[in-house]
């Protein structure tokens, strides 16, 4: 019998071509899961899949735009076709474009809403029935849905109005979904990182400066959540860099 807690499980990780998504995919593969890697750029996904294979794991790329419901449905179905089931969903896609309401564009606001909210909603809606089925049929007798948010969902700062809006909404959505899926044995959790050294923070400018997390630090938090015994649910986990004050 394998001593890997996710042996036989299948995970789907969004934005898995780099940053937190790629680090999470590698972490879950080390725990024994087969991983469907979802993002829009196929070349990045192939590299992550090759990295995981080199470590003895198994991952398959699923290249898709999931900001629309049809794309999300097709992506989840492709993951099921390739790997057979779905036990863990990690919604890690996101974009942070910081600017004042006076100087930003509506297009930047729309991009954040599409990536941070709409993509999460569409993938979640497509995946939930399969997570429920996995929880009732797998040896683990539990499934997991983890949304990656941000400390910006709790602490709004100047220039982050719409980004904070998307993250606060993600928190509320996650809590409501947690209550809805309790009886289905699907654990729903949110991980809220502070500043992290990823592409998401490329435009921090004056808002940066605190000691940043690594993508692997956030992946460790996600790995901790989904490898707990089924009697334990870690529903919220905030992870900041040691020097981050807010």
224 is catalytic: no
Lookup result for tokens 């683990």: 140
Partnered with residue 10 across adjacent β-strands are 34
Residue 174 to residue 191: CA distance in whole angstroms: 10
Marked catalytic residue, from 15, 49, 93, 163: 163
**Measured between alpha carbons, how far is residue 65 from residues 125, 183, 209 in Å?**
15, 31, 32
Residue 210 to residue 81: CA distance in whole angstroms: 43
**Measured between alpha carbons, how far is residue 145 from residues 37, 42, 106, 107, 187 in Å?**
15, 24, 31, 30, 6
Lookup result for tokens 């954040």: 112
**β-strand pairing of 34-39 with 10-14:** parallel
């Amino acid at each position: 019998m394998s001593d890997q807690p996710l042996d036989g499980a299948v995970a789907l990780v969004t934005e898995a071509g780099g940053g937190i998504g790629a680090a999470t995919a590698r972490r879950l593969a080390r725990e024994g899961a087969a991983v469907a890697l979802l993002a829009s750029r196929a070349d990045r996904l192939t590299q992550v899949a090759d990295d995981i294979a080199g470590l003895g794991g198994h991952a398959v790329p699923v290249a898709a735009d999931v900001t629309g419901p049809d794309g999300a449905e097709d992506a989840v179905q492709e993951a099921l076709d390739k790997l057979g089931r779905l036990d863990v969903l990690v919604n890690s896609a996101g974009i942070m474009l910081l600017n004042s309401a006076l100087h930003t564009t509506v297009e930047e606001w729309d991009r954040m809403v599409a990536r941070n909210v709409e993509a999460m909603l569409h993938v979640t809606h497509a995946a939930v029935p399969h997570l429920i089925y996995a929880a009732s049929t797998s040896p683990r007798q539990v499934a997991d849905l983890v949304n990656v948010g941000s400390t910006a969902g709790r602490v709004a700062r100047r220039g982050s109005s719409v980004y904070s809006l998307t993250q606060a909404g993600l928190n509320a959505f996650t809590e409501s979904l947690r209550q809805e899926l309790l009886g289905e044995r699907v654990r729903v959790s949110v991980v809220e990182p502070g500043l992290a050294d990823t592409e998401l923070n490329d435009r921090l400018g004056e808002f940066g400066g605190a000691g940043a997390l690594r993508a692997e630090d956030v992946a460790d938090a996600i790995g901790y959540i989904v490898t707990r015994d089924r009697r334990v649910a870690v529903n919220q986990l905030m992870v900041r860099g040691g020097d981050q004050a807010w």
